[in-house]
Each structure stands twice: as C-alpha cells, then as structure tokens.
Homo-oligomer: A and B are copies of this chain.
Amino acid sequence: MILQLQPAITSSEKQSIVGTLARLGFKSNEVTTQRAHYLVGIGKKEIDIRQLGNLPGIQDIHHVSDEYKLVSRKWKIAHSVIDLGDGVIIGDGSLSIMAGPCSIETEAQVDATIDHLLKSGIRIMRGGVFKPRSSPYAFRGLGIEGLKMWHTKARAAGIKIVSEVMQVSQIADMYDYVDIFQVGARNTQNFNLLDELGKVDKAVMIKRGISGTIEELLSSAEYVFSGGNEKLMLCERGIRTYERASRNTMDINAIPILKEKSHLPVVADPSHGIGIRDFVEPVALAALVAGADGIIYETHQRPEEAFSDGQQTLDFVESATLIKKLKKLEEVVRQF
C-alpha cells in the first residue's frame, strides 16, 4: 500500500497514520524523494482502504498487490519523466539516444565521439571508466581521472554523461562528473549499491541482471526509489539463454511488459542484447518499435581497435545511419 503524504503533514499526523497502519498489520516505510513524501505499508492483510481515508495528512492512497510498490504502475499510471537539465529529457514520449564507446580510452577518442554525437544531434554519451571484467588481468578502465577528462569535454559540448558505478565508494567520487549513474548487469542485485544510490539526487539507470527476471529488475528499482531517488530508469540488455548464435538473447518482450508494469522509462541496449555489430541496427529499431523510451549503444571511431566490446560496436558511419533510421521510425511510431 502506498500513501502519498501531504507536503505540510505534521509529525503527529504522521505518527497517527503509522500507528493506524500498525494496528491494521502493516509495517510503515517512510520514503522521501526529490518529488514527494510517501509511506509504503508492507503487510499481507486485505484491508478496506477507507479505514485510512479520513486520517489527516494523507493526499492519496493506493493498493498495490505487486511485491514492488513505488515503481509499480498500479499506483502511478502516468509515465515518469526524468529531466537531466539543459533540455535533455528522458521518458517524455520522445526517443532518447545514448551512444559512445564501451570504455573511455583516450582524449582523442572522446573528442572524436563528441564530434560525431554533435553532428547527429545526440545529447547523451555513454562510456565506462570502471569496467567490470571477468578476468582480473583485463583492462579495468581509466578510473576517475578518465571521467574528469571526459566530463570537461562533454560539458563544453553540452553533452550529458552516463557511466557505470561499480561500488559504493565510487558514488561520491563520480557524483560531480556524471548525469546518469549506470548500474551494470552484474550489480543489479548489489543491494548495498542500490541503497546508496537511493540517497543520491542524480539519475540512475539499472540494467537487468545477466539472467535477471523482470520481477527482480523492478525490485531492484524499488530499492533505489524507496531509498529516496525517483530519477530512475530501467534498461533491457539481453539475457543469458542456451542460444550460442548471439552473445545474449535480447528480450524484446521485456520492453512492453516493463512499460505496463512500471511507470519508469525503459531503455534498450541492442549492443549487448545481440552482441554482433552487423545486427545492432535491426535490434535497435525493433526495440524502438516495441516501445523503448531510449536506446543505448556502443560506437567507436575504429571498433576493431577498441579496448573492449569491439565485436559489437558500430563505427561512426553505421552509427549515423542508425540514428537517421531511428528518427525516421520514431515519427511513424508516434502517430500510432
């Protein structure tokens, strides 16, 4: 059960509500986000919502049967919108394109990528400076200094930054230099990290786990939201199946299902979703048509020389073509 509280609620009004909830068998979780103030009531009993209706301080009451509550569309039917500032908005019905290399490698690479994005009218750049690698001997990213360099250039160009945060201690270091904290597929259920990102006033994009269910992705988002951060989006990036012809199996079904179950924006990552450069384009187009609010993909001036993920990275010519097709399709889809 979600109780949206009135901004001017008094402490004694709140106590009275919490007490009533307790008598009805519900544990109260107080949540204050950038946008509103909630009590999330957790309990198993079926109650008549009207038993709470008269209590002062309550703005709205919603019964939510899902295990996740605040991210559910059962209480908030309108789709959430995330404003990154400077006119960069995610989830408002337009398509958000996010592109860039797997890893930030060099100043020249950043310059070239920004130049490419500007030419194509793209406002959000992706890139990793902390890289989760299955082998301890692999390249692990440029770290915070790389991020600072990138940030300076991106800011100058009016470009927003989305980059992966791998652990709690990096949040503070990265805070001033990213616009969207990305939680990677290996950290979808790193609950401590999610807890801490709930305390931050910065957008967060949670990738679905390598073999995570849709339900688990939403529960992970609930961690961040219930921690106090509503600036949240979800990302479908393919799941692990028995099929070996592609790196992952892009779960195209997840896009309409997530849009139905949650009010949060849904981004699709076709690069990881299929893992094969030649087929990133059709999968990206399919994801848009299936209802994605954003597309995030890997591009590099010379994919064959990329430090990581070169096999699934578009060059700038392919990237420009993809952007053109995405925009063309977006026009048609918007009329549906």
Interface residues of A (CB under 8 A from B): 27, 29, 40, 42, 67-69, 132-137, 166-169, 186-187, 189-195, 209-211, 213-216, 219-220, 222-223, 226-227, 239-246, 249-257, 260, 273-274, 276, 278-279, 282-283, 285-291, 325, 328-329, 332, 335-336
Contacts and interface: CB of A to CB of B under 8 A. Distances in A.
A256 B241 contact: no
Contacts of A332: 328-329, 332
Q: How many copies does the complex hold?
A: 4
A166 B137 contact: no
Contacts of A227: 136
Given A136-B223, A329-B289, A332-B332, A243 B252 contact: no
Contacts of A249: 239, 241, 249, 251, 253
B245 A137 contact: no
Contact of A42 (B27, B137, B187, B260): B137
Given A167-B168, A243-B239, A29 B282 contact: no
A242 B135 contact: no
A306 to B, nearest CB: 17
Closest 3 CB pairs of A and B: A211-B211, A286-B286, A186-B189
A215 B29 contact: no
Interface centre among A192, A219, A332 (most CB of B within 10 A): A192
A257 B246 contact: yes
B289 A189 contact: no
A213 B211 CA distance: 11
Contacts of A132: 189, 191
A325 to B, nearest CB: 6
A229 to B, nearest CB: 12
Given A245-B257, A252-B286, A285-B290, A210 B213 contact: no
Nearest to A273: B253
6 contacts: A69-B137, A132-B191, A166-B191, A168-B168, A260-B278, A289-B289
A130 B166 CA distance: 20
A285 B210 CA distance: 26
Nearest to A140: B191
A166 B192 contact: yes
Contact of A245 (B193, B215, B289, B329): B215
Nearest to A198: B136
Contact of A240 (B186, B211, B278): B211
A274 B254 CA distance: 9
A252 B283 contact: yes
Nearest to A68: B135
A215 B243 CA distance: 9
Contacts of A325: 336
Contact of A67 (B135, B215, B289): B135
A245 B256 CA distance: 11
Given A239-B249, A240-B211, A290-B283, A137 B27 contact: yes
B241 A40 contact: no
B242 A242 contact: yes
B253 A216 contact: no
